[in-house]
Structure formats: structure tokens, C-alpha cells
Structure 1
């Protein structure tokens, strides 16, 4: 029986869902136990992730337009989303005490930047429809993390709605992005381009690097 695009997206997300205990930092933030310096590091690391992912998604959109046109709108929307998220990130960073001098002097942590580095690698040589599937599965977990963080920042840290806007943005449902993902995957299925083994590899590595991102920040709390 051939899966539809919706079914394949759902089953892929289920297969690649991370174990709830893998993100050690999230429970600390959720109960207000993470230090503000760690939150500041989260903001600073995200500023580098956002900039890198935006470039990767733009490159994927350009590649897809030539190789798999149905995937291009998905990556175009991701690039636009990163731009919007980046505009909101500054308010969160400011609420964490990050000023321009601190941002300029900050040295990114390798464990946090492995994720965008792998996204850049996929942008260069990954199969667009397969990447759509892998990223969609990863975004499901990321959105849940952001919802938890946004609630905790208001509840325990007294952050304003504006300061929480970065996390609110990713926590909100994105029906248009979901529709573009379905269209990309459906076209990939019809063209016989979907390789589920590759999708799982892409997704497994994305989730592993995502976990590394959070674990690296959690280690700051152990010092």
C-alpha cells in the first residue's frame, strides 16, 4: 500500500520523535531553575543558528527551483521565517542582559553549532524532498520546546510578550508551511524521489545535533 504525503509525514515524525528525556535543559527552564547566563547563551547561539539556517534554506530554495520545483516554496517559506524569527530574537537577548558588546565578543559553542552545520551540508548535497520530510519531523519537537520555554519565561522569569516573541513564533501552528511540505512530499512520491532510508538518516542526525545543542547549554549549568 502506497502512503500518502500526509501519512508519510506523520509516520516519519513519529519514528524520529526524540525521547522526552534527551533535552536536559528544558526541564530546568520549565521550572525556572536555569540561570540567566544560560538563557543569554541560548539567545546568542540562536543568533548564529538563525543566520546560518536562513542562508541554507535560501540555497535549498534555489536548488529546488531547478531540481524539484515543488519543494522550493517550502524552503522559501523557511527562509522567510528565519528572517522574521531573527527580528524577534533581539528582544529575548536584551531581556537576558545581552548588549551589542557582549554579542560581538561571544564565541559560539561547537556543540551548539553542529546542527546548522549539518543543515548547511544537506543544503549542498541532500535530496530536497527527503530534506523536507526530515526537517518537518525535527520541527515538531522544536515547536514543543519553544512552547514550553515561552510559558516558562513568562511564568518564572517575568519576561514580556515581546521578549517571548521568538519562541511564540516557532510554537505557533504553521498550516501554510505544513501544506507546502505535503505538496513537496507528494511530488517527491509521484516522481519516485523519496528514499525513506535517507530520510531516516537525515532526520536521525538532525535530532542528534539538536540534542547536542541543548546538552551543550545544559553543561553550562553544571559549571
Structure 2
């Protein structure tokens, strides 16, 4: 089996092994059923302002580290992620406006520790992880995140009267990203050729999934 096939298979297997259980996200079903409060939806948007800003800087740093290490495939992957976070930030502004949040409300919001554990760990990976291992760990997590976003968008459309522009933040992450998938395969392939530590990547991916579950569980507790 060639390394290209091995890299793709490893990405798929890791995503499958780390896939969340049904009870790991108690918030998304509330949005789908229309039982999540507007205040909880506002908290989701407010928390995401901090998540997106942190992740954008973390991905940009990983791209810089990858370039310095001569890992061009990883640099391309993380550069694409950083660019995507900038696009998402614009969509998030539209969501926030639709939920009645202005700049003052966004600036005054006090974040929840359970919601910010995930971006804090991404920042740690940006500082300490080998880039190929971060690619594998993050890619596994993104598979679940995209599915959650699709379900949230559907719920917002069906129960909360939010239009396409307001839902664009979630639709952006829910949309297929074949170019990013190809970049992930190339980065993991290069990592396998240079001694990628699969066990370390899996450990990081497991923690990412746990911290994401904390994010959703924290939101689900909001009145």
C-alpha cells in the first residue's frame, strides 16, 4: 500500500475512531428541535468570536512553524485554515447582528471556561505539536464539527427564522472542502515519510474531541 493511500486511510480511520458519541453534544439537538433559547444562541455566537480569533492566530502560527521546518505541505494546510477563519469571522458578524448583538455586547461578554478549553488546546498545539501530528488531530475533529454546523443551520432555518446570511457561518463550515482534504492528505503523507507519531496525534485528537464536547455541554446548560 502506497503512502498516499496510507495517509488517506489514516485520516479516515482516525476520524472514525474519534467520532463523538450521540450524547457528547446535548446542545445541537436543542437547536434542531427549536428548544434552545435565543440567549443560548447568542452565547454560541459570542463564544465563537473568541474561538475564531484564537484559532486564526494558532493556524497562522502553525503555518509559520511549518514553513520554518521545511514542511511545505503542512504550511499549505494551516495557511488555508487561517484564511478560512478570516472568512468565518465575517459570517459570524452577520450571525451576531441577526441575534441582536452589537459591538458593545460582544466586547462586554465574559467567556465560559468550558467553551474556551478547545481553542486554548489548539493554541497549545500551535506552540508544541509537530505540524503533521496537528494536521491529523485537527482533521479528525473537523469531521464532527462540520456535521454539527449543518444540523445547527437546519435548526436555525426551521425554528428561529434566521435567513441565509445569518446562517452563513455554519453553512461555511458544513460545506465540503475537497481542496482542504487534499492538503490534509498531502501533509499527513509527508509526515508519514518523516516519522509521524500516530499515537501522539491520536492523543491530541482525543483531547480536542473532549474539549469540544465541553463546549457544547456548557452551552446546553444555558437557560
The reply to whether TM is greater than 0.5 is yes
Is 1:20 aligned with 2:22?
yes
RMSD across aligned positions (CA): 1.0
- Given the alignment of the two structures, is residue 73 of structure 1 paired with residue 76 of structure 2, yes or no? yes
1:172 matches 2:178: no
- The answer to whether residue 59 in structure 2 is matched with residue 53 in structure 1 is no
Measure the CA separation in 2 of the matches of 1:26 and 1:151: 10
Name the residue aligned to 2:203: 201
Q: Give 1:181 deviation, angstroms.
A: 0.3
Q: 2:112 aligns with which of 104, 109, 112?
A: 109
Query: Runs of 5+ in structure 2 lacking a partner?
Result: none
CA deviations over 1:165-218 (Å, ceiling 9, x no partner): 0000000000000000000001111122x1111011100000000000011111
TM-score normalised by length of structure 2: 0.96
CA–CA distance in 2 between the matches of 1:32 and 1:219?
A: 15
Matching residue of 2:10:
8
Partners of 2:43 and 2:150 in 1: CA distance: 19
Farther-moved stretch of structure 1 (65-74 vs 75-84): 65-74
Structure 2 partner of 1:32: 34
Q: TM-score, normalised by structure 1?
A: 0.96
Matched position secondary structure for 2:9? helix
